[in-house]
Structure 1
Amino acid sequence: MSVGLVIVSHSAQLAAGVVELAAQMARDVVLVPAGGTDDGGIGTSLDKVMSALGQADGGDGVVVLTDLGSAVMTAESALEFMGNPEKIVLADAPLVEGAVAAAVAAQSGAALAVVQKAAEAALSPGPASAGQGASGVIPGAAPGAAAGGTGSTVRPDGAVTAVLTLINPIGLHARPAAALAGALGALDVDIDINGADGQSVFLLMALGAGQGTELHVTATGPDAQRAVDLVRAEVENGFGEL
């Protein structure tokens, strides 16, 4: 099982559309729309939200995403009626981007807190790694660096770095960006790829990195080496597209 998602919107069509979009990148995740009023109008329904929460909860928890303010109030009321269960959380996130990012994280098997974080960080640029320029190039990374995993280095400050070249024909487009962000989201790491948060599918896509682009990767945290090795393996495998 995985963390489930509930999409609460004033429009039934909008909620269903967000679910359809997110499902393209997370086919094993339970995504349930809760849009519109009980009579099919524009608005929100407490009964619909509570029913959706029950459908989405497979045991690993549920992340709820909403559109406008009153949808938040309806979701909060539903949680109150249910006794504010610990495994159901309301994400403060943009509806579409947050839903896709959360779905990608859930597909990777990430825990509830990680899926919530993925949603809430969907459009937030991660802090640039210390000493890294806007171009993503790490000045002075190689000198004095100790050997890390295959082809990576470890800076004196403990950060693991690597420079990789995209070889798949389309580059870091939606599918590989989603797969990469989802896998990295399940790790205990802060990872920067050319100035973008490596755990954000949207920020990775925004790089516009095509075939031949160099990726400057910097990772810190307990899973830093594992994360850099994961990125290297995916890049060298062409994200399975060769």
Structure 2
Amino acid sequence: MGVGLVFVSHSALIAEGLVQLAAQMAPDVRLLAAGGDDDGGIGTSATRVEEAIRAADGGDGVAVLGDLGSAILTAETVVELLDDPPAAGVRVLDRPLAEGGVAAALAAQAGDGLDAVCRAAAGERADEPAPAADGLSPLEREVVLEDPDGLHARPAADLVRTVSGFDAAVTVQGTDARSLLAVLALGLRQGARVRVAATGPDADAALQAVAALLERR
């Protein structure tokens, strides 16, 4: 079923909005909001967090992200007191709720395990890249970024999903193309000349797919 995610916020609207945002890029992932206190006001609710963790558990673990320190504390307390925790475990992550949550959701959408999903939320490599075949140099290509808005959130998410479908290690401007946060940090604008490199069994196919995505308006 894949790793599930829970967004814990002091505001129910923020938590629900982040679920909607992440669902646009990771439609197959169990995404749950646990926002507000027990009465729907500003605050956190241990009951809501526990219910969300239960609902997000599909058998492969749950990652929980919070917006402020007390949200993290509430989530950690809930996890410690679970009588019957998810078999694959629950991780509470003190990472940026929006950027980290979307990055984690993309990793979960790609089928990565709990460890890799947590690394993705931190902006680290979601999974180990495929090694270069027989020590060959990476295939490289330079393309012009055509999207008028540059490599913003949605096309960056498309890039991460595309790369995750190949048995290849792909870099964009020397940055791991499987890391959403690393790709966004490049700040690439329309008209930028982008260097794409790939190694591994599917290097050529991955390179062609990434080039087509970057050259698409």
Same fold (TM over 0.5): yes
Question: Larger % of helix: which?
Answer: 2
| Partner secondary structure for residue 104 of structure 1 | helix
User: Unmatched 5+ residue regions in structure 2?
Assistant: 126-131
Counterpart for residue 213 of structure 2: 238
* Cα distance in structure 2, aligned partners of 1:117 and 1:189: 19
Counterpart for residue 66 of structure 2: 66
Distance 1:210 1:232, change over 3 A: farther
Distance 1:241 1:70, change over 3 A: same
| Partner secondary structure for residue 63 of structure 1 | strand
1:47 CA displacement = 0.5
Indicate whether 1:154 and 2:136 are aligned: yes
| Partner secondary structure for residue 13 of structure 1 | helix
Moved over 4 A (4+): 83-86, 166-171, 183-191, 239-242
* Cα distance in structure 1, aligned partners of 2:169 and 2:95: 20
Distance 1:76 1:165, change over 3 A: same
Counterpart for residue 210 of structure 1: 190
* Superimposed CA distance per residue, residues 1-27 of structure 1 (whole angstroms, 9 cap, x where no aligned partner): 221100011111111111111111111
1:32 CA displacement = 0.4
When Rg is computed on C-alpha atoms for both structures, the one with the higher figure is: 1
Indicate whether 1:194 and 2:173 are aligned: yes
1:239 CA displacement = 6.6
Distance 1:184 1:116, change over 3 A: farther
**2:2–2:108 Cα contact (<8 Å) kept:** yes
1:173 CA displacement = 4.0
Question: 1:7-26, aligned counterparts within 5 Å?
Answer: 7-26=7-26
**1:64–1:88 Cα contact (<8 Å) kept:** yes
* Cα distance in structure 1, aligned partners of 2:211 and 2:44: 47
Counterpart for residue 165 of structure 1: 143
1:241 CA displacement = 5.0
Counterpart for residue 130 of structure 1: none
Please provide the CA RMSD for this pair.
Answer: 3.0
TM (normalized to structure 2)? 0.79
* Cα distance in structure 1, aligned partners of 2:80 and 2:167: 32
In the alignment, residue 143 of structure 2 is paired with which amino acid? T
* Cα distance in structure 1, aligned partners of 2:147 and 2:71: 42
TM (normalized to structure 1)? 0.72
**2:167–2:203 Cα contact (<8 Å) kept:** no
1:54 CA displacement = 0.5
* Superimposed CA distance per residue, residues 33-68 of structure 1 (whole angstroms, 9 cap, x where no aligned partner): 001100112111110000000010011211111111
Distance 1:108 1:211, change over 3 A: farther
* Cα distance in structure 2, aligned partners of 1:187 and 1:72: 35
User: Could you tell me the percent identity over the aligned residues?
Assistant: 42
